[in-house]
Amino acid sequence: MNKPIQVLVVDDSAVVRQVLGGLLEAADGLEVMGAVADPLLAMERMKQRWPDVIVLDVEMPRMDGITFLRKLMAERPTPVVICSTLTDKGARTTLDALSAGAVAIVTKPKLGLKQFLSDSADDLVATVRAAARANLRRTAPPSAPPKLNADAVLPPSAQRAMSQTTERVVAIGTSTGGTQALEVVLTALPQVCAGLVIVQHMPEKFTAAFAARLDSLCAIEVKEAEHNDRVLPGRALIAPGGKHMLLRRSGAQYVVDVIDGPLVNRHRPSVDVLFRSAARACGANALGIVMTGMGDDGAAGLLEMRQAGARTMAQDEASCVVYGMPKEAVRRGGVERSLPLEALATEIERHGRQF
C-alpha cells in the first residue's frame, strides 16, 4: 500500500484546526500528523517529522504565514496550501503567499465556517492531494456528481468566425500553479502585444487583487474583466472569480461578456467556456494556451479552437506545477505544440505580429 500523505494544519483558529483536521483525516490516503496554532509550534512539530503538505493560514500571531512560508521555501521547499478568509485584505495577503511559492488557495468565510468547510470537503481533499504530487506524479480529480461541460453556458455552433482580421487575441487557461506561471509570462511581455483574455481558477474576491498585483509588475495593462470590456493590444483581462468570461465580436472589435451561469467542469470561471467562445468569435485570429492546473478544464475547448483554425499550445510537463490540464489537452488532440513556460511569452509576441 502507498504511504498516506502526511498533512500539517497551521491555523490559529481552534475551530478551523478541528474541522480541517477531521475532514482531511477522514479522506482516503491522507493522515493529519498535527494541527497547531502558529508557525513556531509547526517548526517544533516538523523537527520530529516532516509533512508532505502544509495547510497554512496567513494571518496569525507570533509569526505570520508569509514569513513562515518564505523561510520554508528557502530552507526546505514543501507543498503549501494557503487557507485564507474571503476578505479584500486576506486576498492581497494570500496573493503574496502564492507569489512566495504556495501551491493553491482554500478559502474560508468568517461566518458559517463549519458548514462551508464541510460542503467544500471534496475540493479541499483534491487540492491537498494535488499539492502533494506537485511536479511529481499527477493526481486525478476526486469522484463527484456528473460535471457540466461548456454546453451549459454556450451551446456549440456550426457558424465559423471571420477568417481574417487585424485583431489578434490570446486566450489562456490555468489553475493550480497558475498564479506564479502567469506572472512569469505576463511580466515578459512588451507594452504592445496581442490582447489577452485569461481564466485563472481562483475564488471570488481574489481575482481583483491578483489582477492589480500583476498590473503593478507588468509593462502591459492587467485588469479584472468587466462586462463589455474591449480586448485591446497590450491589455490582459482576468476573468472574475465566480463569473464566466466569454469572447464576443462586436463589429471590428473583440469584447468580453462577464456572466453568471452554472459551474462548468466544476469551475466558474471555466476555461472551456472561454475557449469555446474564442473558437466561435475569433477562429484563426486566436492563440489558445493551456497552462499548469489540475483536472481537464480547457481540454475540450482548446480542441475546438484548433478545429476552428486557431494556433494552440500547452505548457510542458517539466515546467508545470501540476501537469493535469495540459496533459488532458494533449491527449485529446487539442495541442499543436508543448513548450516550456519561459517560451510562451515569445509565442504570444509572435502571434501579435502576424497581421
* Plot region of 278 (φ>0 → left; ψ -120 to 50 → alpha; else → beta): alpha
Q: Any catalytic annotation for residue 175? A: yes
Interacting residues of 80 by C-beta distance below 8 A, sequence separation 6+: 53, 54, 55, 56, 69, 72, 97, 101, 102, 103, 131
Integer-rounded Cα radius of gyration of the chain: 20
Residues facing 255 on adjacent strands = 230, 248
Active site residue 277: no
Catalytic (active site) residue 201: yes
Annotated active-site residue in 11, 52, 96, 175: 175
Report the C-alpha gap between 236 and 211 in whole angstroms.
9
H or E stretch covering 179: helix 178-187
Grid cell, residue 303, equals 480542441
Task: State which amino acid sits at residue 43.
Answer: M
Residue 262: CB atoms within 10 A of its CB come to 11
Please identify which of the residues 38, 272, 297, 316 carries the catalytic annotation: 297
DSSP letter for 174, please: E
- Which residue out of 38, 201, 229, 316 is catalytically annotated? 201
**CA dist., res. 6 & res. 132, Å (int):** 9
Catalytic residues: 175, 201, 297
